[in-house]
Chain A
């Protein structure tokens, strides 16, 4: 789980081009949107692509998205639960 969280942080930094942020700067339990990392709706689309591209995980329905996209930790838990 810890390794997956670290890997996810690296993918987020790389794919979202987060300037001057290192994996250590990202609190795995902090909100991704709003006050935390300050991501927005375009980033949400890119995170969906990260889940699918690197882990083969698809979001089955949009109602699932809100709790899954809470933090890096909830993303990692969703990947663990759903990847083949």
Chain B
């Protein structure tokens, strides 16, 4: 099973004005920070809303979901004593809000699924994309991941001692995934695995590396901050390393004792 990557965009790569990426002011004004960040990253990745229609699957991943709206809704329940609840934070707090908003921008009624599986979320979304390609169900898939940190979430995790030796993090990443190699293909995913137990750096390389020109990204949250879909950020970085001459990158993601995941991203040459 494999797939080709034609483009990867992170929230830092978004340079287009949000009003051009999300022209509908009605949609825009209801979006929280993470929804704006994820949807603009997705639209920038596909090159404009007019291109969303060319995708036959939109698969998103998040570990925490739209926390700001969830918190606002819960706060309203307490402050307003379960009366007079504003519907918008509730509607916008669902995990599949981002996938739905991307599809709504261009009325794309294709397969649209969101994976919410803690630190596996991005890998599960990518696995779904690869399985759809292997089964001949999709050829052009938009795969993305997003998570946001909020002050209250940060405070709770800090009190639990989680940030003692690790930085916090958040981010959005979207990728154009293709069944077939194209002139734009920048890399390919050639392995995705969910080992039954932890692997050492040595074991990762022995099991997954196929060449000497390999970079191992080990324990993704130590590299880009702690959040459930941080492996998507490493996935984006891996494609950049490959564009700069690295032959393959192994991304090993083990997050607080959850079953580890491994991705092997290789050059297309």
Spell out A's residues near B (CB within 8 Å).
15-19, 38, 40, 42, 45-46, 49, 52-53
List the B residue with the shortest CB-CB distance to A49: B84
Q: Within the assembled complex, what's the spacing in Å between the Cα atoms of A48 and B2?
A: 52
List the B residue with the shortest CB-CB distance to A17: B29
Q: Within the assembled complex, what's the spacing in Å between the Cα atoms of A33 and B25?
A: 14
The binding surface of chain B is classed by DSSP as helix
CB of A32, distance to nearest CB on chain B (Å): 13
| Other-chain residue from A17, A19, A38, A42 in contact with B91 (beta carbon distance below 8 A) | A42
| Other-chain residue from A16, A42, A52 in contact with B84 (beta carbon distance below 8 A) | A52
**Count of B interface residues, CB-CB < 8 Å:** 12
7 contacts between A and B (CB under 8 A): A17-B30, A18-B29, A38-B26, A46-B87, A46-B88, A49-B86, A53-B80
Q: Within the assembled complex, what's the spacing in Å between the Cα atoms of A19 and B28?
A: 9
Q: Within the assembled complex, what's the spacing in Å between the Cα atoms of A42 and B91?
A: 10
**Is there an interface contact between B29 and A38, defined as CB atoms closer than 8 Å?**
no
Known pairs A16-B29, A19-B29, A40-B26. 4 more at Cβ < 8 A? A15-B86, A17-B29, A18-B29, A53-B80
CB of B88, distance to nearest CB on chain A (Å): 6
Interfacial chain B residues near A15, Cβ < 8 Å: 86
Interfacial chain A residues near B25, Cβ < 8 Å: 19, 38
| Chain B 9-31 residues near chain A, CB threshold 8 A | 25-26, 28-30
The 9 closest A-B pairs by CB, nearest first: A17-B29, A49-B84, A19-B29, A45-B87, A53-B84, A52-B84, A46-B86, A49-B86, A42-B87
| Chain B 85-141 residues near chain A, CB threshold 8 A | 85-88, 91
Interfacial chain B residues near A40, Cβ < 8 Å: 26
Q: Within the assembled complex, what's the spacing in Å between the Cα atoms of A42 and B84?
A: 14
Q: Within the assembled complex, what's the spacing in Å between the Cα atoms of A17 and B25?
A: 10
Q: Within the assembled complex, what's the spacing in Å between the Cα atoms of A17 and B92?
A: 14
Q: Which of B80, B85, B88 is packed against the most chain A CB atoms within 10 Å?
A: B88
Q: Within the assembled complex, what's the spacing in Å between the Cα atoms of A53 and B28?
A: 25
Interfacial chain A residues near B28, Cβ < 8 Å: 19
List the A residue with the shortest CB-CB distance to B28: A19
Interfacial chain B residues near A45, Cβ < 8 Å: 87
CB of B94, distance to nearest CB on chain A (Å): 14
CB of B34, distance to nearest CB on chain A (Å): 15
Interfacial chain A residues near B88, Cβ < 8 Å: 42, 46
Q: Within the assembled complex, what's the spacing in Å between the Cα atoms of A46 and B86?
A: 6
Q: Which of B25, B28, B80, B85 is packed against the most chain A CB atoms within 10 Å?
A: B25
CB of A37, distance to nearest CB on chain B (Å): 10
CB of B83, distance to nearest CB on chain A (Å): 8
| Chain B 135-151 residues near chain A, CB threshold 8 A | none
CB of A69, distance to nearest CB on chain B (Å): 16
CB of A78, distance to nearest CB on chain B (Å): 17
List the A residue with the shortest CB-CB distance to B85: A49
Q: Within the assembled complex, what's the spacing in Å between the Cα atoms of A49 and B86?
A: 7
CB of A22, distance to nearest CB on chain B (Å): 15
